[in-house]
Every structure is written in C-alpha cells, then in structure tokens.
Amino acid sequence: MAADQEPSASSAGTFQQAADQLKSAFESRLEALSSQGASPDDGLKALEEIRIQFTGKKSELSTLMASLKDLPKSEKGQAGKTLNLLKRDLELGIKEFKQKLEESKKAAELAREWIDVTLDDTYLASNTRSHRGLGSLHPTTRIQYEIEDVFTSLGFDILDGPHIETEFYNFEALNIHENHPARDMQDTFYLKDGNLLRTHTSTIQVRGMMNNKPPFKVIGPGKVFRCEKIDASHESTFHQLEGMMVDKDIKVAHLIYFMKTLLSRIFDRDDLEVRLRPGYFPFVEPGFELDIRCLICEGKGCSVCKQVGWLELLPCGMSHPNVLRAGNIDPDEYSGFAFGLGLDRLVMMRFQIDDIRHLHSADLRFLQQFP
Ligand code: DAH
C-alpha cells in the first residue's frame, strides 16, 4: 500500500502491512537524506519535515491510530500493538538521526574554532615559521629571555613596571633628590601631568621593595627612555634589566657570585674573570662598575677593549640605606645588592652589531638575520 492510499482497517493483517510499508518508506527517506550529504543545519531542517510527515497530526500513522476505534474488539489489541511499535520505531529513527546530525554539527564547530594552546612565541621563532613570513624574536628579546632563564633558575622572580613613572619612583626613592646633579645625566621626556618616561629600570627596584617582604630576589627587564642625542651608541629608547636581592647579611661577595654566574652563562665560559671598579650611583653605596676580561684578546689588549684588556659591562652596588628605607625596609636589619644590565650593549657584543640604531630600525634586511 502506498503511503498516500486510504488504509483498510478491516483486519490486523492489513494494519501490519500498512505499518511495514510506512516503515520502509520512512527508512528510504532517511537513507536518501543521509546520502545527500547536506550540511548538518539543512539536514536537521529536512529531518523535521520527515518527522512531521510520518508522525505528525496529519500523518498516515495518526489516521491509522484514529481508525483503531472502528475495529472489532478482537482485532483492536493486535492492530494497536502494531501501530505502537511502528510509532516507537519511527520516533527512535528520528531521534538517532537527529543525534548524528547534532554530533557532526558540533564536530564541525570544534574544527572551526580549534585553537592550539601549545603554540607560543618560541614556536613562531623557529626557522621554518619565520621563513613562511610569520616573524621571529628580536635579538634583544632573545637575550632578555635567555637572561630571565638564568635568573629564574637561580630563584629570582621576574617583575614588570610601567614605562610612565612618577618622579618619586624614577628619582626620589632612588636617593636622587630634586636638585641632585644625577638628574642631568638622565634627562627624559616629561608629560604634561608631571609624570615622565622612566629613564632606567631601577624604578622596578622600588616597586619590588614595596611589594615584597625580604628576603627576595627579583629582576625587572624593560624599555627605558632618555632625551639623548642619537648616534651609533645612543638611542632615546633602549633596554635594561634591573636586579635586586635583599636579605640579612648580603655582602659584595653575593653580588660578585651572581654576576659571575650570569655572565659565564651568557658568554658560555667558565673561566670568565671579573673585576670591580668604584662607580658612583646615588642608590648604591658602595657602587661599582663591573668589568670582564676581554673575551676577544683574553686581556692582552685589542681594539674592542680599547687596549685595556677589560670590558665595562654592568654597574652595580650595595643598596643605599635611604633606598631601602624608601622601600619600607629597615637597613639595620637587611642589606641588599642591585645591578643594571644594558641589554642593547650585550646584544651588540653578542651579534657584533656596530650601530645601536639598527635595533629599532624595523629594517627587515637587519631583522631577517635573526631567524
Ligand atoms: N640605573 C642605572 C642607570 O641607568 C644603572 C644602575 C647602576 C643600576 C647601579 C643599578 C645599580 O641597580 O646598582 O644608569
């Protein structure tokens, strides 16, 4: 019996036949739908039409159900059972098909929104990536990350600080008072509201002291700014990495130990020699310039070390009591050391770059040498 023929309700056998035909018509509709390869959304729409056609109020099934009441009592039971089984099969078929469509809809969504959470910038920096034009790490960033790794392995925390600072953090808290001549050496860009672009990462010392209780060991890398006359070795924007350790009984020996460890890791040498010369910085007392024996001539004298045999590398010293006090630390109980590493200088030494202006030139001919 075709789906649109009037059913004969004369016997249970006829009901069975009608049910079989409806079921096979239903199954071939589902098969046709699945072989169409429609999108899950279109598939769901078509499935809803099939559901209405086969199980809705105006469906043949409903008509058959309604005709049950006209059957003789002896046949009603069997015919009713047949129709109920058919109804169950149709509903189950719809439900399973719907589930399949919803699953493939979800899978398509997940595939579309897939994010590789393991992707990081070191991946971007790999050769294969940069050759596809996706960029690579700037040499300064690379050196910064390397140094961060050394210090974190030594138990230091990495801190950050704002580029726009108050005079307090940039000068006063570092024992550089308003009329102190040291301010002249660090002329900077002032904002209308009286704030300024930080001239050094030493500001991070102050923030480190205020936000940590001793003992602590911190480093703070970042950009710094000065109103400089720009030439091959001076830029108005450059990079430093500040470090500070505060604990009971910190001595110059601790400072030398950490600086030597850092430098031998950076230059990959365990026979590195360092020396301290007096150096003046208002926030350390005593203050030093730390030199390393020239790596090029091993101290004999060459053009790189200007025939001195030593290379000036980083200023450092023991934290001045006024600085500790400004950071809410009692200098009678605690002492500390601090240092400020010029990152651009290190980069220039490492990669033999002869002009600091290359670093911020954004010139691809320069940058592509660091894939
Ligand atoms: N902030 C200084 C500058 O930019 C560098 C410096 C010197 C940092 C001595 C220090 C230090 O932590 O102890 O010139």
The 10s digit of each residue's pLDDT in 178-232 is 999 889 889 999 999 999 999 999 999 999 999 999 999 999 999 999 999 999 8
310-319 and 164-165: which strand pairing?
unpaired
**Pairwise CA distance, residues 27 & 94, whole Å:** 10
Residue 70: inside a domain: yes
Residue 5 lies in a domain: no
Q: What is the mean pLDDT of residues 251-261?
A: 96
Whole-model pTM? Answer: 0.66
Whether residue 117 lies inside any domain: the answer is no
Assess whether pLDDT exceeds 90 at residue 344.
yes
Q: Does 91 fall in a domain?
A: yes
In terms of domains, do 63 and 143 share one?
Answer: no
Q: Are residues 221 and 316 in the same domain?
A: yes
200 lines ligand 1 (CB under 6 A): yes
Ligand 1 center–CA 110 separation, angstroms: 51
Q: Whose CA is nearest to atom 12 of ligand 1?
A: 339
Tell me, in angstroms, the distance from the centre of ligand 1 to residue 39's CA.
65
- Strand pairing report for 164-165 and 274-278: unpaired
Say what percent of the chain tops pLDDT 90: 71
The confidence score (pLDDT) of residue 7 equals: 44
Domain that holds residue 56: 12-112
Looking at residue 124, its pLDDT comes to 52
The verdict on 286 and 155 lying in the same domain is yes
CA of 224, closest atom in ligand 1? 4
Virtual CA dihedral for 43, 45, 51, 54, nearest 10 degrees?
Answer: -90
Whether the per-residue pLDDT at 42 is higher than 70: the answer is yes
CB burial class (10 A; 0-12, 13-18, 19+) of residue 191? exposed
Residue 3 lies in a domain: no
Average pLDDT over residues 18-32: 94
* Of the residues 86, 112, 138, the one at which a domain ends: 112
Asked if residue 317 has its Cβ within 6 Å of ligand 1, the reply is yes
CA 153 to centroid of chain Cα atoms: 20
Choose one of 187, 281, 324, 341 to mutate for the ligand 1 pocket test, by most ligand atoms within 8 angstroms of C-beta.
281
Q: Are residues 280 and 222 in the same domain?
A: yes
Residue 314 clears pLDDT 80, i.e. is over it: yes
For the chain, what is the domain count? 2
Domain final residue, candidates 53, 80, 112: 112
The protein residue with its alpha carbon nearest to ligand 1, atom 3, reads 200
Higher pLDDT, 214 or 351: 214
214 belongs to a structural domain:
yes
Task: Give Dmax over CA atoms of the chain in angstroms.
Answer: 120
Which of 112, 134, 150 represents a domain boundary (last residue)?
A: 112
Check residue 339 and give its pLDDT: 98
- pLDDT of residue 83 exceeding 90, the answer is yes
Q: Is 342 in the pocket of ligand 1 (CB under 6 A)?
A: no
Tell me the pLDDT band of 257, cut-offs 50, 70 and 90.
Answer: very high
Q: What kind and span of H or E run contains 155?
A: none
pLDDT over 70 at 8, yes or no: no
User: What is the pLDDT, as a whole number, of residue 119?
Assistant: 67
Of 39-48, 99-108, 125-134, where does mean pLDDT reach its minimum?
125-134
What is each CA distance from 305 to 226, 271, 276, 297, 339, in whole angstroms? 26, 18, 16, 8, 22
* CA 89 and chain centroid, separation: 52
CATH of the domain at 275: 3.30.930.10
Looking at the fold, whether 179 and 232 belong to one and the same domain comes out as yes
Choose one of 235, 241, 339, 345 to mutate for the ligand 1 pocket test, by most ligand atoms within 8 angstroms of C-beta.
Answer: 339
Note the pLDDT of residue 306: 87
Is the same domain home to 190 and 306? yes
Question: Looking at per-residue confidence, does 241 or 116 come out higher?
Answer: 241
Supply the mean pLDDT for the chain: 90
Tell whether 48 and 187 lie within a shared domain: no
Could you identify the atom of ligand 1 that is nearest to the CA of residue 279? 9
Distance CA 189, CA 225 (A): 8
pLDDT category of residue 129 using cuts at 50, 70 and 90? very low
The answer to whether position 1 is within a domain reads: no
73-86 average pLDDT score: 90
Residues 269 and 339 in one domain: yes
Is there a single domain that holds both residue 41 and residue 130? no
Task: Tell me the CA–centroid distance for residue 241 and ligand 1, in Å.
Answer: 9
Whether the predicted pLDDT of 74 surpasses 90: no
pLDDT for the residue numbered 127: 46
Q: Are residues 154 and 249 both part of a single domain?
A: yes
167 with 42, same domain?
no
Regarding the beta carbon of 238 and ligand 1, being less than 6 Å apart is answered no
Residue 347, Cβ neighbours under 10 Å: how many?
22
Given the CA of residue 185, which atom of ligand 1 is nearest to it?
14
pLDDT band of residue 121 (cuts 50, 70, 90) is low
* Residue 177: partners with Cβ closer than 8 Å, 6 or more residues away: 171
Q: Is residue 344 one of the residues assigned to a domain?
A: yes
Q: How many CB atoms lie within 10 A of CB 208?
A: 24
Residue found by looking up tokens 């699945």 in the block: 34
| CB count in 10 Å sphere of residue 267 | 15
Residue 137 and residue 104 share a domain: no
Ligand 1 centroid to residue 354 C-alpha, Å: 24
Task: Compute the average pLDDT of residues 242-271.
Answer: 94
Higher pLDDT, 371 or 36: 36
pLDDT at 3 over 90: no
